[in-house]
Amino acid sequence: MWNHVGWYLLVGFYLGTLCAIAFYGLHRYILVYLYIKHRHNTYQPKSSFAQLPRITVQLPMYNEDMVAQRIIRATCQLDYPLDRLEIQVLDDSTDHSAGIARLACEEWAAKGYPIKCIHRENRTGYKAGALEAGLKEATGEFIAIFDADFVPPRDMLRNVVHYFADDKVGMVQVRWDHLNRDASLLTKTQAIFLDAHFVIEHTARNRSGRFMHFNGTAGVWRRKTIDDAGGWQHDTLTEDLDLSYRAQIKGWQFVYLPQFCAPAELPPEIISFKQQAHRWTKGGFQTAMKLLPGILRSKHLSYRVKTEAFFHLSNTVVYPMMVAVTVLMYPIFFYAMSPLKPHPWSQHIFSATLFILATCSASTFFVYGQRELFGREAGWKALLYVPFLMALGVGVSLNNAKAVLEAIWGAIRRKPSEFIRTLKYGVTGQSRSTYRPQQVLTFTRLSMPILEVAFGCYMSCCIWISLYWGYGVASVPFLLIFACGYFYVGLNSFHILFKMSRETDELAHDAAPGAVST
């Protein structure tokens, strides 16, 4: 009896989790609707400054030897009066990058540019700590922030500064563009992901009166807004998301300007991509645990703001749910003792499962983003990338599910998280990455790729069972996408990790006393 009840509880959990995933997927289509409804509600500056205000540009960096000179050069070339400009290089580097940044600052300072390097001996608070330390010395009324892999356009500050003539505006964000969009299938897919975020999500939220967030770079803050919201805090890995919500809860207005953009480098290989996704996912869920209860209890925030905040901050929970549903596919649909197995209609549920998992995070949302950004033809071309979009989204689900669980476990233990930076390569256009030594190969680093490949094998077994027994054959294309996604991410991770390990060994050999170069 209990065995029978247990099976039905498992089926109920499976279907409930599937419905929750579909619910979050439906929210993305609601964002598309809000975008279409409000896309013409554009912002215009209420007035212009008679005299341009003083702006401090902050460039946080850590061991950025490949891109430090580029971002410093681009920032010094900004079209803004030098007597109204201050540039801070917030360098926490612990390797030779510190010398590169310092020499670049000295070179541009000798030419008369108002730039200085602020080097910290420790990384307390990581990026948030560096920004806070710089803020103590900043003299600008407004604070512009650019990560090291960005190349801000010359007219960036002039394009956005006059929106602050409205005293209610606390932050202005511009759209990200991508320097190496067409370098590989991976970077092209990342670009489509991010384009949908910046074209659809940001525009829909901001112009419909919901909360949006600063993306950590390519934006300008009012100094007073940062202080009023409680300053930069480093109890989450997404200090930008955290501060954004605290500022908007205080009543500050954000402005998003998709017509202006700042290009940056996309992670050109899978390890950096996974590290970035892990940090964003973990930090997002940390922020949800920190702020969402207070937002939902708030009496002065509207229902639509609360609803959007719930979906926005909690959407990362989809990753562990997706992993759970994937694991349960075999026992729920293929195992002989499953209560669904004898029923023919269970095949339709199985097909619906794969359809929901595969399409709720892709299709319309991403394709429409490309259409709006590059035109109708680009939207149709983006359809060709949908299978890989779905596969990559599935492939990183284990990596991101781990990030959510780490956020929960860290909150229980009250243990701060380490900020692991995304490795920069200084690539642009069609150029490919050059793998750089990271560290020696360990089981810890190999454990996730092993698990990803194991999930790929698991999906392959499900494909074989479906074909052999003729069960849910219509689902085979979706199962194939799942298998390919896990195999791509896992095997590609193995390739990069072994290559990094080999280069690390070669570097150590060359540096050894008595080593003979060939």
Catalytic residue list:
92, 240
Tokens 């730039």 label which residue? 115
Q: How far is CA 495 from the centre of its chain?
A: 23
Distance CA 141, CA 169 (A): 13
- In the chain, count of helices (H) and strands (E)? 20, 7
Check residue 265 and report its DSSP letter.
P
User: What are the Cα distances from residue 53, in Å, to 44, 47, 50, 88, 114?
Assistant: 18, 14, 9, 17, 15
Q: How far is CA 239 from the centre of its chain?
A: 13
Angle at 66 between CA 61 and CA 67, to 5 degrees: 55
Tokens 């065995």 label which residue? 3
Q: What is the dihedral of CA 12, 14, 19, 22, to 10 degrees?
A: -170
Distance CA 4, CA 510 (A): 64
Strands ordered across the beta sheet of 115-119: 115-119, 85-91, 55-61, 142-145, 219-222, 169-178, 253-264
Q: 264 and 177 in contact (C-beta within 8 Å)?
A: yes
Q: 182 and 429 in contact (C-beta within 8 Å)?
A: yes
Where does residue 355 rank: exposed (0-12), middle (13-18), buried (19+ CB within 10 A)? middle
Q: 178 and 194 in contact (C-beta within 8 Å)?
A: yes
The closest alpha carbon to 440, from 505, 491, 496, belongs to 505
Q: Which two tokens stand for residue 308?
A: 């959007």
Q: How far is CA 411 from the centre of its chain?
A: 21
Phi, psi of 513 (to 5 degrees): -60, 135
